[in-house]
Structure 1
Amino acid sequence: MKYDSTEQSRHPHIIKSSRRSEAPFLLSVGWGFLNIQTFLQIFFGFPVQSCSTMAALGTRGTVKEAPGFNPEQDTENLRKAMKGAGTDEAAIISILPHRTIAQRQQIKEAYKRAIGKELVDELKSELTGNFEKVVIGLLMQAPFYDAYELRNAIKGAGTDEACLIEILASRSSSEIKALTAAYSKEYGRNLEDDICGDTSGMFKRVLVSLLTAGRDESTTVDEALAKQDAKEIYEAGEARWGTDEVKFLTVLCVRNRNHLLKVFQEYQQISGRDIEDSIKREMSGCLEDVFLAIVRCIKSKPGFFAERLHKSMKGLGTTDSILIRVMVSRSEIDMEDIKNEFLKTYGKTLYSFIKGDTSGDYRKILLELCGPEK
């Protein structure tokens, strides 16, 4: 029997220039160089890995370290782009999407040294619309960008549950700890408390479980336990009247990826169904959405984000908040894999979708983040 989930109202939450005063720490130069490992060492005492390990967020991104990087020259070019009447958006596009997050932080510091002003403030005074949102997003460190998106999803009337699900279901334990600390530092608030105040029921419990960042991140597979997990999930759903959602939560939010892939195989053998089909049959609303997101991220994170991008652009209109968030947050991690999954699943390139669904400088900067059409 389906779980009857009461969904709250949804509305898009976006980065607005009028909210500049809310993010002084988020965009501050002083924290510019923090990657996730360093951030976690400061806030949680975790050991920092070697510099070579920390150099990039991922190895399958379209954004790579710019060779011969010169932050002072980039600073001068950006200053010229904003000097006088009008703005040279092409110059901005030629620089920022072609620098890594770490390199952009160096540009921010170099700009402040040379000009005596914050680069972010200067750009906000010159740019507008979705183009501005992409540019400002690129200048944020990953944990702070996630924190900013989550804050926008929660504050005000209504809740953007899809944003909460996308971020919390797809981030690793270390990433969740980092964004939670960033949220607390930036807003002086507890992220779990804010989410609990904006959600309810089993959906709230799943989000809280994800926020604890308690997923086993080893690669060990206990085959006997995998069989038991699959059997218990089946007995909690398909094999009974009603659904014991807690069992789904216990397995899907705690077990490691390799173990869960084995659980999904065992579940298919026991039930004759893919676990996604059973979730759709047994649950509804936000609870269905969050469990499906967890399963899809376990199966293929690039596939999950390819689906999010397709959803943001299919049909009439564009959900720019999703499009911007995914393009900015994944460009340095796994955008190449996302592009491959997009083409395989939808028969068209991500590049062509973006080109056909956006326009102007907004289109140009997104296409730079996407990388060349294959």
Structure 2
Amino acid sequence: MRCGRNPRSEPSQTSTSYDSSVTLLRHCTLPTLKTIVVCVFIRVLNYLFSSLRFQVMWPRLVANKILGKRLSSSNFVADFPGDSRTCSLLDISSLGQPSLSDNTIRKDNFHDYNVFVSTWNVGGIAPQEDLDISDWLDTPNNICDIYVFGFQEIVPLRASNVLGSENSKVSMKWNSLIREALNKKIQYCLEKQKYNHKQLGIRAQKTSVIEDEKAVFESSIPEDFRCVICKQMVGILISVWIRSDLRPYVRHPSVSCVGCGIMGLGNKGSVSVRFRLHETSFCFVCSHLASGGREGDEKLRNSDVAEIFSRTSFHRRPSLDLARNILDHDRVILLGDLNYRVSLPEATTRLLVDRKEWNALLDNDQLRMGLVKGQVFEGWQEGLIKFAPTYKYCLKSNVYFGCAEGQRGGKWRAPAWCDRIIWHGEGLQQHVYTRGESNLSDHRPVKAMFTAEVQVSSTLKGLQKFFLSERTSSRKREMTTSTKPSMQKSSRDDAEQLSRAFKGLGCDAAVVINILALRNASQRDRIQQEYETLFSDDLKKQLAHELHGHLKKAVLLWMKSPTERDVTTLRQALTGPIIDVKAATEIICTRTSSQIRQIKQVYSPTFGTRLEYDIGCHTSDDHKKLLLAFIAITRYDGPEIDSVLVEDDAKVINKIGVKKSGMDESTFIQIFTERSSAHLIALASVYHKMFGKELRKTIKREASGNFKYALLTILQYAVDPTKHYATVLRKATKGLGTDDSTLIRILVTRAEIDLQKIEEEFLKKYKRPLPEVVHSETSGHYRAFLLSLLGSKY
């Protein structure tokens, strides 16, 4: 068919044999009726074998008979706690989200998860047990939430593997290597977190200290990764892994296989997997398309793509509203050896590769040209390619095949970007698109990292009550800054005015600022309630849709309760595209025990993971130990102090400074996480009187990195909160560029607490008004909003 031949134009040998049989039967002595019946039957067979439609259908029928169970949507491998076995859909789909029962009051929120996706054609080479793939899995954020691995040719594509029983030994080896690599860092974290009683520098309150330390480390043990779906079809394998604490939120996994290639036997084709995380459906398609570098071979690949999209169909139950086809899902990513080549003469291609002129090559890349012209993957997107072609290399070498002298044998192929990762639809943002450098096969692995927007139904009855109490308590707080409410207007008037500001082309941001920036927490809550009552819409969602950039971030943070602000900022700082360890440290180390408890109560149900887990994954060493201890230990927040204990702490710290063996981190962690603010203030004073040294300078000399920053934050905030925030604001606005995230966080979170005092301290310390600094460092409506919080018309 693909060669363009007309099966009717050349009679086959089978057809000729049937005609000969009919001729022989004409001379038989069988009864006339029996002869007629046999002749008609053979004529029918002859017609069928010469039929174009039959020739198209029969390879698929044969393929289904041969592949059999391989194509079954209910036959895949998944992990269970302490077990790994082949499961049916009924086994795994019933494990729904336990916290979202039928009587849950739902409120939809969107949260971001980091997704790692990679594809690798391993050329039929089985991995050795000592193969190190940790570099392949490395990403800027180090640990993602979801990992998707696609392989092609995990077994040699010979007849025994295509037609014989499926060889799962190789796929088990790859899964074993993946499991080891993903959990290697977590195991390292566990080793680092082991508690050693002999290293405790303070023996006072020995029993309570030991028990508290044990509780800290036991609660901070990170969860490992679990395989939620692993499916193989001949040489194509896809394996999906997810953090085990997210496993209860994964529902309705399913697979769909499409065999292409020779007779549709599956040497080419796709394995697609789908599942639902919280309320968002994901579909990952691992493909291996038709090969060939001759002119016109790209049409075969386009044909495979069309066949994959038309034949992929997922199992769904009548009672559930589940997507059936690939493009029906919310988040869709396709990965694999797509085999698209560069439409240039081989000599020209190799010359451009030597010169590393990737843009000139990509202008002639078949996939890129097809995407632009809408000939294939219409509506799909691909990230910017800044890496070298991934095919074809000499085995165990970094030299392209055909570039080394004296090479013989093997398929002669010009370099090309055969291995690709593309995506469809909204809700996906790609941050990384690059390749690995393992030389196991003649292909190089390609990897990408995405941020996926996931809809989470997280507001349970208890959580709603908590937020209600938060809002009630926030209404009791008075504005303590120079920001004054504007002339009294009803909340209904404000809601109607905001609605008018949203209409038409663009948003009247000035109206939004003049209303929201000049209303206290109680008034903002009433405006939100009135807006929902009048227009049956969520004001926060409307603001998120209408506003942009830094203004959007600042206004949305302003509209949250204090605890919601902390929770949102912590999650973004610990798991966002850019890890902001200092922001997370500042929030944790400046909150009281009761505030930390409220943050933890909200964090877990909101994001489906514990705060301890995110801290454990995205911080390290003594800094991590300090943060985990700080959120685990309940501190006394009153004014009373134990003067004897203060002097003991001062002596211990001084003794550490005198030692030449270095700092005893466990002692500092214990003192700075267990003692009250009043105790730390007295400690700084007593330490200076007894030894003539400043505690702050001792910390700077003895500690380093993020651990030093955390200790200084705890001490400075305890001694003088306004001075601490003035210093942070100075650093955010000093030098080239502005740290807008820090500027927004401080001004918004302190606006209804002590921003006026911070302004006074800033002016006193740096001889420059804070509004003047904000005005010079910002612009537009973003500047107007921040100045409104400062109560300035600068």
Shorter-chain TM range is 0.7 to 0.9
Separation (CA, whole Å) in 1 of partners of 2:510 and 2:525: 20
Q: Is the 8 A contact 1:343 1:349 kept in 2?
A: yes
What is the distance in 2 between the residues matched to 1:34 and 1:63?
A: 25
CA contact (8 A) 1:62 1:332 kept: no
Structure 2 counterpart of 1:344, one-letter code: K
Greater fraction strand: 2
Q: Does the 8 Å CA contact 1:172/1:213 hold for their aligned counterparts?
A: no
Could you list the per-position Cα deviations for residues 184-241 of structure 1 after superposition, in whole angstroms to 9, with x for gaps in the alignment? 1211211011111212211111001111252211110221211111111211234453
Is the contact made by 2:672 and 2:714 (CA closer than 8 Å) also made in structure 1? yes
- Residue 181 of structure 1 aligns to a residue whose secondary structure is helix
How much has 1:180 moved relative to structure 2? 1.6
Selected match of 1:148 from 539, 554, 568? 568
Task: Tell whether the 8 Å contact from 2:481 to 2:791 is kept in structure 1 after alignment.
Answer: no
**Other-structure match for 1:354:** 774
In the alignment, structure 1 residue 78 sits paired with structure 2 residue 490: no
Q: Which amino acid aligns with 1:229?
A: D
Q: Which moved further from structure 2: 285-294 or 238-247?
A: 238-247
Q: State the 1:60 CA deviation.
A: 3.2
Matches within 5 A, 1:263-302: 263-302=683-722
Identity %: 31
1:308 is aligned, of 718, 728, 731, to 728
8 Å CA contact 2:481–2:790 kept in 1: the answer is no
Which of the numbers 751, 759, 766 marks the counterpart of 1:339?
759
1:5-33 deviation per Cα after TM superposition (whole angstroms, max 9, x unaligned)? xxx979xxxxx99887557758xxx9499
Cα deviations across residues 111-156 of structure 1 (Å, max 9, x unaligned)?
A: 0110111111211221111111111111111111111111111115
Check the 8 A contact 1:66/1:98 in 2, yes or no: yes
C-alpha separation between the residues in 2 aligned to 1:348 and 1:364? 19
Amino acid at match of 1:96: L
Query: Which residue in 1 is equivalent to 2:791?
Result: 371
In structure 2, how many angstroms separate the alpha carbons of the residues matched to 1:82 and 1:334?
Answer: 32
Distance 1:360 1:34 in 2: 33
Structure 2 counterpart of 1:252, from 640, 664, 672? 672
Correspondences of 1:48-67 after superposition (within 5 Å): 55-57=475-477, 60-63=480-483
Is 1:209–1:253's contact at 8 Å kept on the other side of the alignment?
Answer: yes
Q: 96, 104, 116: which is aligned to 2:516?
A: 96
Please say if residues 501 and 512 of structure 2, whose CA atoms lie closer than 8 Å, have aligned partners that are also in contact: yes
State whether structure 2 residue 645 is matched by structure 1 residue 212. Answer: no
Asked whether 1:170 is paired with 2:590, we answer yes
Partner of 1:224: 644
The higher relative CO (CA closer than 8 Å, separation ≥ 6) is in 1
Paired with 1:364 and 1:17, the residues of 2 have a C-alpha distance of 32
Shift of 1:271: 2.8
Residue matched to 1:200? 620
> Could you say which residue in structure 2 is the equivalent of 1:130?
550
Paired with 1:127 and 1:25, the residues of 2 have a C-alpha distance of 25
CA distance in 1, matches of 2:722, 2:712: 15
Match of 1:323 among 730, 736, 743: 743
Q: Write the distance in 1 (CA, Å) between the matches of 2:428 and 2:739.
A: 19
Q: Distance in 2 between matches of 1:63 and 1:179?
A: 27
**1:34 aligned onto 2:467:** yes
For 2:515, the aligned partner's letter is: I
Give the Cα separation in 1 of the matches to 2:685 and 2:666: 21
Q: TM-score, normalised by structure 1?
A: 0.85
> Could you say if the C-alpha distance between residues 185 and 295 of structure 1 is closer, same or farther in structure 2, counting changes exceeding 3 Å?
same
1:228/1:33 Cα in 2 relative to 1: closer, same or farther (>3 Å)? closer
Aligned to 1:253, the other structure's residue is in SS state helix
Distance in 1 separating the partners of 2:620 and 2:690: 32
Q: CA separation in 2, counterparts of 1:77 and 1:59?
A: 23
Tell me which structure has the larger Cα radius of gyration. Answer: 2
| 1:54-102 deviation digits (Å, cap 9, x = unpaired) | 5444663445666745211110110111112222111111111111223
Following the alignment from structure 1 to structure 2, what is the Cα–Cα distance between the partners of residues 303 and 9? Answer: 34
> In 1, Cα distance between the equivalents of 2:545 and 2:518?
22
Gapped regions of structure 1 (runs ≥ 5): 1-7, 11-15, 41-50
**Matching residue of 1:13:** none
Q: In 2 relative to 1, CA 34–261 (structure 1 residues): closer, same or farther, beyond 3 Å?
A: same
Given the superposition, is the C-alpha separation of residues 193 and 301 from structure 1 closer, same or farther in structure 2, using an over 3 Å criterion?
same
- Alpha carbons of structure 1 residues 274 and 9: separation in structure 2 relative to 1, 3 Å: farther
Distance in 2 between residues matched to 1:82 and 1:70, nearest whole Å: 19
Match for residue 606 of structure 2 among 163, 174, 186: 186
8 Å CA contact retained: 1:81, 1:91? yes
Greater helix content: 1
* Contact 2:484–2:791 (8 Å) recurs in 1: no
Asked if 2 retains the 8 angstrom alpha-carbon contact of 1:176 and 1:211, the reply is: yes
SS in 2 for 1:237: helix
Return the letter of the residue paired with 2:530: A
Residue of structure 2 equivalent to 1:4: none
